[in-house]
Amino acid sequence: MTTSIKTRVLDRIDLAILDALQRNGRISNVNLAKEVNLSPSPCLDRVKKLESEGYIEGYTARLNAAKLGQHLVAHVEITLKSSTEAVFEVFKQHIVKIPNVVSCDMVAGGFDYLVKIRVQDMRQYREVLGQIVEIPGVGTNHTYMVIEHVKEDMGVEVLNYQ
């Protein structure tokens, strides 16, 4: 269930590969090899190894949500009625199934979960919020509508190399 915790020391070439693939996940192996000053074969070996060891979890096309009709993002703070493990479990099982839920983090502090949702419009926001508050055990909720995206990186800092 849990992923491997095994770790090894990545040298600067590995880090350069990760950085390059994070910036352009569809770069050809030949060009990637040039970028990290390696010939194609060992470069491919390293990429395969980084994939199999779990440093690289996959590759994704970044899509423009607004052009696909998803115009609104909201952050919803959820507090559960009780803090028992059973209630947490029920909430998790339901929340992951809602397709408009982009992310859901359990947090320490004034509430229990911070849920990020992406919806087409206010009508769909109400619909999704309805689905969330109807999950058994959900107490209070508070929504913060996103007015402006200032930064959206989703990348992992890898720049200890050079």
User: Which residues make up the interface to DNA (CB under 7 A)?
Assistant: 13, 28-31, 37-46
132 forms part of the interface with its own copies (CB under 8 A)? no
Closest CB to DNA among residues 38, 90: 38
Binding of residue 153 to its own copies (CB under 8 A): yes
Residues numbered 16-55 forming contacts with its own copies, rule: CB under 8 A: 18, 21-26, 53-55
Cβ density class 33-52: b for 16+ within 10 Å, e for less: bebbebeeeebeebbeebee
Minimum distance from residue 40 beta carbon to DNA (Å): 4
Task: Mention every residue, 6+ apart, whose C-beta is less than 8 A from residue 135.
Answer: 90, 91, 94, 95
* Closest to 113 in 3D by CA, of 151, 147, 87: 87
Query: Among residues 25 and 139, whose Cβ is nearest to DNA?
Result: 25
Tokens of 149: 């995206």
How does DSSP classify residue 4?
A: P
The residue written with tokens 């910036």 in the block is: 23
Q: Which residues bind its own copies (CB under 8 A)?
A: 3, 7, 10, 18, 21-26, 53-65, 67-68, 70, 73, 75, 92, 95-96, 99-111, 113-114, 118, 142-159
